Amino acid sequence: MMHAAMTSTTAQSPTVVAVLDMGASAIRLVVAEVGPKRKKRVLEELSRGVSLGRDTFSGGAIRSNTIEAAAASLDGFRRVMDSYGVHQVRAVATSAVREARNGDMFLDRIRGRTGIAFEIINEAEESRLVYLAVREEFGKADFFRSASPLLIEVGGGSTSLTQLRRGHPNRSGVYALGAVRMRQQLNLRAHSHEIQVSLLKRYIANVVAEIRVEIPLRQISHVVAIGGDIRFAAGELLEPGHPGPRELARDAFVAFCDEIERMNPERLVERFGLATSDADSVLPGLLVYKSLLLESQAERLFVSDASLRAGVLLDLAEPGGRLGMEEFQQVVLASAEALGQRYEFDRAHGRHVATLASQLFDALTEEHGLSSRDRLLLQVAGLLHDIGVFVSLRGHHKHSQYLLSSSQIFGLTDEENLMVSNIARYHRGAFPQQSHLPYIALDKQDRLIVNKLAALLRVANALDAEHLQKVERVQVARQRNVWVLQLDGKGDLTMEQMAASSRADLFADVFGHQLVIRRAGVVQ
């Protein structure tokens, strides 16, 4: 049986791996050899057109004949993988399956027939994987590490945007601007070409208006574009064998898009020799790239050969895609801060609580037995625990839980996002309870982690009750019957001691020790 679980590849001998990407308009396969020092060599790439998005975006579910077509394509891919002796495979599905009401049933049938287990990845994971692929291609380029580049990938189901700051993701989002989605939801085939163009422009303008709220498009200095439609444009605008990164001048690209606007799909097939399915996607796709480019300050558009598949392959060969743990943490925390800014959070307070919570975590490593990944979840919850104030000060911890559970943070899985939302929920108010549905929905092990991290966050938040960042360092001294939390800081810390003492209740419940809070150097 093929499965998605990975084991590390060895450095002694090459390992053959495979990546499957199930998108809105096609299922694609990459077979590659991973050798010493994680060097990758692509052995074969295949694609089969399967219009999952046509079903999902028009009727909400994948139809039986489409399921059969997908299974038949994957049967063929499985034979190819077997012929290469593939040892490891990661298979991912994106928006067309993620949004289908029968998506889980569909993947269960696929696994039963083909032995291939697909995972539905969320938007944040999709953005992370695309970023890894672009970083591999352009990571050393000056424009990639400029003040504020934007990565744009327009696919069949959605458009993925990642704003960078000096080469690191700062904000990201996935939006309903896919070529297949727009054609289905706008029922374009029922209209003349002129009306189709008008409908597409209005639809795109409405979504771009939403994007402006989340990503400062006017600040974008450079644009990096990913996807088949933009590669088509580059092929038409640049000479074959163009050296170095492919760059399209803003005015030349806009003029080319204007030319494409005047051609219906039949004319595109005749003029450029495109396949019918590609001709259908070119106009919607290029209109999205054009609209986003014109929102920015960028004078040139850089065309990337990166893809989701390339990012998955990189992640498979080198878990994390050569992002060290420290760099990965910085990326996640930057994304968390961007989310906090959207809800007008108190950045200084959030950062300080995250720092104090981390100090508590480090001081109690032997007691809680948690991992560095859990520490990162605590930091994110510390940063964002108060975002519910944006909704209302009253019961804001509950609002924080809801906002976090319905948001996504770059680099975190859906499960980790839910854990963060629960940790933030319990920074004040009631203890975790069986009657709290978001909490009880977690599995047992995750609930234990939430309890421990929430207990630490509860104390850390109390230590900055006045939002003045007076407590600078904390240490834990273990005594026979109690643990003493020693505070080092500036000014009068009486209020912080009182607040932390009143919020140490969950800590005592979870760790089985009373916590006495004292200022460092005070002997009693």
State the SS3 of 156-203. CCCEEEEEEECCEEEEEEEECCCHHHHHHHCCHHHCCHHHHHHHHHHH
Q: Is residue 120 classed as helix, strand or coil in its secondary structure? A: strand
- 15-121 with 124-311: one CATH topology? yes
Instruction: Give the C-alpha distances (Å, rounded to integers) separating 319 from 132, 306, 316, 322, 324.
Output: 11, 18, 6, 7, 10
Contact 237, 252 (CB under 8 A): yes
Predicted confidence at residue 211, as pLDDT, reads: 93
Residues belonging to the chain = 524
Q: What residues does 512 pair with on adjacent strands?
A: none
Distance CA 464, CA 144 (A): 38
pLDDT tens digits, one per residue of 388-427: 999 999 999 999 999 999 888 888 888 899 999 999 999 9
| Domain range 325-468, its CATH number among 1.10.645.10, 2.40.340.10, 1.10.10.10, 1.10.3210.10 | 1.10.3210.10
Of the candidates 21, 24, 18, the residue with the CA atom closest to the CA atom of residue 6: 18
Residues 6+ apart with CB under 8 A from 291: 201, 204, 205, 208
Q: What residues does 172 pair with on adjacent strands?
A: 162
Q: What residues does 20 pair with on adjacent strands?
A: 29, 91
Domain covering 15-121, topology: Nucleotidyltransferase; domain 5 (3.30.420)
Instruction: Give the C-alpha distances (Å, rounded to integers) separating 180 from 155, 157, 341, 369, 475.
Output: 8, 6, 33, 47, 56
Angle between helices 372-384 and 444-462 (to 10 degrees): 50
Q: What is the mean pLDDT of residues 194-210?
A: 96
Predicted confidence at residue 482, as pLDDT, reads: 84
The answer on pLDDT for 159 being more than 60 is: yes
Predicted confidence at residue 4, as pLDDT, reads: 41
Distance CA 303, CA 399 (A): 41
Predicted confidence at residue 480, as pLDDT, reads: 75
Distance CA 465, CA 460 (A): 9
The answer on pLDDT for 523 being more than 60 is: no
Both structure tokens of 224: 């990096």
Strand order, beta sheet including 514-519: 471-478, 482-489, 514-519
H or E segment at 47? strand 40-49
Predicted confidence at residue 8, as pLDDT, reads: 44
Contact 288, 159 (CB under 8 A): yes
| Domain range 124-311, its CATH number among 3.10.105.10, 1.10.10.10, 3.30.420.150, 3.20.20.80 | 3.30.420.150
CA angle 388–392–398, rounded 5-degree value: 45
Which position has the token pair 């003040």? 147
Q: What is the mean pLDDT of residues 172-200?
A: 92
Q: Is residue 143 classed as helix, strand or coil in its secondary structure? A: coil
Dihedral sign (CA 480, 483, 488, 492): negative
Contact 269, 279 (CB under 8 A): yes
The answer on pLDDT for 107 being more than 90 is: yes
For residue 462, count other CB atoms closer than 10 A to its CB. 24
The answer on pLDDT for 1 being more than 50 is: no
Of the candidates 134, 136, 128, 64, the residue with the CA atom closest to the CA atom of residue 94: 128
Please tell me the pTM assigned to this model.
0.79
Predicted confidence at residue 12, as pLDDT, reads: 59
pLDDT tens digits, one per residue of 345-396: 999 999 999 999 999 999 999 999 999 889 999 999 999 999 999 999 999 9
DSSP labels for 14-43?
A: -EEEEEEEE-SSEEEEEEEEE-GGG-EEEE
Confidence of residue 522 (pLDDT cuts 50, 70, 90): low
Instruction: Give the C-alpha distances (Å, rounded to integers) separating 257 from 261, 263, 493.
Output: 6, 10, 63
Q: Is 144 exposed, middle or buried (0-12, 13-18, 19+ CB in 10 A)?
A: buried
Predicted confidence at residue 6, as pLDDT, reads: 41
What share of residues in the chain are helix, strand, coil (percent, to 5)?
Answer: 55, 20, 30
H or E segment at 333? helix 325-342
pLDDT tens digits, one per residue of 127-151: 889 999 999 999 889 999 888 899 9
Both structure tokens of 140: 């050393």
Dihedral sign (CA 122, 128, 132, 133): positive
Residues 6+ apart with CB under 8 A from 39: none
Domain positions in the chain are 15-121, 124-311, 325-468
Contact 292, 103 (CB under 8 A): no
DSSP character at residue 431: P
Confidence of residue 321 (pLDDT cuts 50, 70, 90): low
